[in-house]
Amino acid sequence: DFPTVALSRAEWDCDRRQLRLSLHPMNASVTGQSTSMRVTGLDDPSRWTATSPDGPPVDVEARGPDLLLHTEVGRHDLLVETR
Between β-strands 77-82 and 48-51, what pairing exists: parallel, antiparallel or unpaired? antiparallel
How many degrees, rounded to 5, is the angle at CA 8 between CA 54 and CA 14? 80
**DSSP symbols for 47-71:** GEEEE-TTSS--EEEEETTEEEEEE
pTM, to two decimals: 0.91
pLDDT tens for 55-76 read 999 999 999 999 999 999 999 9
pLDDT tens for 1-43 read 889 999 999 999 999 999 999 999 999 999 999 999 999 999 9
What are the Cα distances from residue 77, in Å, to 7, 54, 57, 63? 9, 6, 11, 22
Contact by Cβ (8 Å): 69, 51 = no
